[in-house]
Structure 1
Amino acid sequence: MPESPLTTVDYQRRDLSIDQKLALKTAATRLQTEFSTAFGVETIERFLHSSYDKFAGRATIPNFLPLLAERFARQRLRALARAEGKITDGKPTVLFLCTHNAGRSQMALGWFTQLAGDNAVAWSGGSEPGNEINPAAITVMAEVGIDISSEFPKPWTEEIVRAADVIITMGCGDACPVYPGRRYEEWVLDDPAGSDVAAVRVIRDTIEARVRHLLTELEVPIAG
């Protein structure tokens, strides 16, 4: 059964504060402005609504929920546009997946975004998303000038997988999605959860080397 669109009735849900309702309405307006040529209002609001629900059960700061929902809905709508051929820029698209989307996949995304710049597209996700990014991962990435502190653990969704040309998995095993026609790689890396900063630095540097190799294989020039 398809998810219901974010109608006026949905905005009156009892689990939403007045501020959250207003924030979601504002987010819907921004997304409609951005994606009006690609999708109808119902699709845009449905993605915003379902994105909100994916975070609602584990948010530590409820007032941030509308912002997280808007950011994730925007990513999902961009992915859907790619999957449906509404974005045809020819840029390679990579999806990094691990279990909690809190350490390895976030560091990989950070490196890829830094090194590829506007020459390629990357996303990350988790089979069981955590509540926050691993602080040690934030610290060691900041040491090399990459800020991942504004990222957040999120799940993978069907449209994001459909849009990816390459799917890099890191320890999520059978929980990781398998779609035909995609290139898959498993990167065997230690899980940084519970490790000290020194150990996470080693993981960071290993990920950098693998991302650089991947970009070379994809014939993506290094930005800058």
Structure 2
Amino acid sequence: MATEPTVDDPIRIAFVCVQNAGRSQMATAFAERERDRRGLVDRVEILTGGTRPADGVHEGVIAVMNEVGVDLTDRTPREITPDTLRSCDTVATMGCSTLELGDVDAAVDVRDWALEDPDGRELEAVRAIRDGIEDRVAALFDEFSDAPERSR
């Protein structure tokens, strides 16, 4: 079991899906931007990964993120482990019903955002997914930026 967090420990948020090639990459990029905008660099740590990572980020995702000034061309899908997930305060899954989170601690706030998979979709559909992710990330940061200290 992980050590008890202190008020000085950063809040750890993970954005997770199976391939880490679309939704979780967009969420991570928006979270990094939101963290910087709100001056929470020392308070929020952002993680991302997949249980079975793809070889690269989906081209359509790269294209629609470029439209909003976010460059994902250098991002690489990576694996995330149950140990890493257990170390998080919040884990946002992207609607991946096949996601294998393993035995995540009950203290971890797991949220399923139930988002459509952008892989192979028309750009208009990927844009809608992107915009929904951006809204959810902003709402999540509203929760953390209003909190005077850690939630757990």
TM-score (normalizing by structure 1): 0.57
Instruction: Identify the residue that residue 118 of structure 2 maps to in structure 1.
Output: 192
Counting strand residues as a fraction of each chain, which structure ranks higher?
2
4+ residue runs over 3 A deviation? 83-89
Match of 1:98 in 2: 17
State how far apart, in whole Å, the 1-side matches of 2:9 and 2:82 are. Answer: 20
Question: Which residue of the other structure, out of 140, 143, 149, is the alignment partner of 1:217?
Answer: 143
**How big is the shift at 1:125?**
0.9
1:177 corresponds to 2:102: yes
**Cα distance between partner residues in 2 of 1:132 and 1:167:** 22
Structure with the bigger percentage of helix: 1
Deviations 1:90-126 (A, max 9, x none): 3211011111100000000000001112141111111
Does the 8 Å CA contact 1:127/1:172 hold for their aligned counterparts?
no
Offset at residue 162 of structure 1 (A)? 2.7
1:115 aligns with 2:34: yes
Choose 1 or 2 for highest CA Rg: 1
Amino acid at match of 1:153: P
Query: C-alpha displacement at 1:171, in angstroms?
Result: 2.7
Instruction: Decide whether the 8 Å contact of 2:18 with 2:53 is kept in 1.
Output: yes
Q: Does 1:128 align with 2:52?
A: yes
Question: Could you say what secondary structure the match of 2:145 adopts?
Answer: coil
User: What is the CA distance between 1:217 and its match in structure 2?
Assistant: 1.2
Matches of 2:68 and 2:6, distance apart in 1: 32
Identical counterparts, % of pairs: 34
Counterpart secondary structure, 1:97: strand
Q: State the TM-score, normalizing by the size of structure 2.
A: 0.82
1:153-187 C-alpha deviation (Å, 9 max, x unpaired): 11112342132110111233351234121001000
What does 1:19-168 align with in structure 2 at a 5 Å threshold? 89-117=8-36, 118=41, 119-168=43-92
Determine helix, strand or coil for the equivalent of 1:124: strand
Deviation of the 1:142 alpha carbon: 1.2
Distance 1:196 1:167, change over 3 A: same
> 5+ unaligned residues in a row in structure 1: which ranges?
1-82
Q: Does 1 or 2 have the higher relative contact order (CA < 8 Å, sep 6+)?
A: 2
Q: How many residues align?
A: 139
The structure 1 residue matched to 2:129, chosen from 195, 203, 224, is 203
The one-character-per-residue Cα deviations of 1:10-69 (angstroms, maximum 9, x if unpaired) are xxxxxxxxxxxxxxxxxxxxxxxxxxxxxxxxxxxxxxxxxxxxxxxxxxxxxxxxxxxx
Change (3 A) 1:87 1:218: closer
